A and B are shown apart, each in its own frame.
Chain A
């Protein structure tokens, strides 16, 4: 955990520096303006477009230095902790659940929400949660059916359906 604390502070510090650099960017239609010309007060216009994000990013950078000092002095709980950042269970959980979510995201453009939701729920409830098929199927079918009537029919928010779109046309004819 101690090592992770300083690595994270370093990464966030770099990120803050990147944001400072990016805040000073001139607009693409006028590349003659020098970088960082927009972070101060512009006569007649007030503070430039980079003013607010630049100085806030600087504060972020200073906070990362502050976190670093606290780490050195062992003043924050993670900098004192001897526990691992993620133990074996944590890594396994992260891979299994995160992988499931990633699969869900990949399936959305192909099968749409109403195809991806049941597959994700079956994966999680049946294979990770080890629940009965009755519980698994009733939830895996119930949630997309409820979502369809709530979002597509009642709220008129049409969720993407991917290649399954033709299957829904008869339903639209009935309910819309």
Chain B
């Protein structure tokens, strides 16, 4: 009862005109920042952090600045899907999985269905996770703490195992794609030993190429694969122009798509629950959450073959998951003081600057901050879905442009987005090179989405593996004997080994 009373009180504070106005502004800013390739929630939150000091000096508390930043975070999570679906470029790692089915839907003239599903699934994910957050915050924080290095690595292994199922029929190409993503993630300096790794040298010289010293960056691969490679492939294959221009932008079609959302309930439910749980784990976050939800939605679907070709659940699962995980990631940040993602790290920095002390005592010592913030999660979600639905006709209108206009605009956005993310022209050149290689590999049916996701998960997975092995003195049984890690590892290995065994069986059958 206490919780309900506090929550109601919090919602009323969040509905005060200044807080409501900040939430609307934050959502709109976040939506556009998220929709822009190369920029994600972390850019929006980091750039506008100084602005919150002005808000704090006007309102006098930490609640309004936090509501503003949290709304940007939410808006960006909604916005990420827009570039994934309309342009085919995942602006942020959290929206990569949305591209798998969102893009085929857009290519077949059903972009309105994909965008409406993404908006409503995001709303469902955000709301379900906020309810879970409200009711079980302290309890879930303690569960998340019981996830040590072996458990998180086992979870990553499970994420990679679902890739094997995602990559279509060609298993060796999928595994190759995962491994190349993981290996590219190691370029640069090893964070444990400090040794340089896989940094290429300038030909005929002993000097390393400086541009590789900071590592092989995620967006270089993601925008290269989707912004350049996929576009070249589309130009090469759809010679009479793509059917994206046939998309229906009428209000009637959008309302029809809203009604059809009921068909995506399964993906939404999987994404909302799994996304939240993965989101609360330290060092996991929205990307593995979205990916695993996609994998589970596919594995448990009646027609898994439809995934990757425009399945509605394939959009709903990752979109509900990334929103759900973004709320989940706030939980360890607020209750334990551990940020689960770069964005929550910036939010944590903001909280400290505003004079708050994140940690187990935050809920008891600062209820006047916590409850209005949770209240604002509910309000921001409602605002975000309304703003997003209102903007859908504008995003769809973009798709009606002839492909010979849309393609160069996407190329320009890819180059500018990569530069804006890293401020380094070396990365822009490398991104175009990666795009050309991706195009050649795409013709030969190499799935490249697993590589893009592996480069994000690699820097999480590798230290967890090495720290676990250090803990066990090099004994791999640590992944099988612990009560949480054991079952996850076994399921992951079964998922990986099944297609391999199927292939070997097929090989013998061919011989006989």
Q: Which A positions have Cβ atoms within 8 angstroms of B?
A: 1, 4-5, 8, 12, 19, 22-23, 25, 27-28, 38, 41, 45-53, 56-57, 59-60, 63-64, 66-67, 69-70, 73, 75-78, 85-86, 89-90, 93-94, 97-98, 100-102, 104-105, 108-109, 113, 117, 120-121, 124-125, 128-131, 135, 139, 143, 147, 150-151, 155-157, 159-160
Contacts and interface: CB of A to CB of B under 8 A. Distances in A.
Which 4 pairs of residues, A with B, have the shortest CB-CB distance? A129-B404, A46-B470, A124-B408, A66-B172
Interface in B151-194: 169-173, 175-176, 179-180, 182-183, 186, 190, 192-193
Contact of A128 (B228, B404, B419): B404
Interface string B478-512: 00000000000000000000000001001100100
Contacts of B507: 69, 73
B408 A125 contact: yes
Q: Chain A contact residues: over half helix, strand or loop, or mixed?
A: helix
A49 B402 contact: no
Contacts of A51: 466
A31 B39 CA distance: 41
Q: Chain B contact residues: over half helix, strand or loop, or mixed?
A: helix
B398 to A, nearest CB: 12
B16 interface: no
Contacts of A85: 443-444
Given A52-B465, A76-B445, A108-B425, A101 B183 contact: no
B179 A150 contact: no
Contacts, number: 173
A121 B412 contact: yes
A41 B469 contact: yes
Given A8-B440, A49-B193, A109 B425 contact: yes
B15 interface: no
Which residue, A1, A53, A121, has most C-beta atoms of chain B within 10 A? A53
Given A97-B235, A121-B412, A147-B416, A59 B47 contact: no
A101 B439 CA distance: 14
Interface of B: 33, 36, 39, 43, 47, 169-173, 175-176, 179-180, 182-183, 186, 190, 192-193, 195-198, 228, 232, 235-236, 239, 402, 404-405, 407-409, 411-412, 415-416, 419-420, 423, 425, 428-429, 432, 436, 439-441, 443-445, 462, 465-467, 469-470, 474, 503, 506-507, 510
Contacts of B239: 89
Nearest to B181: A56
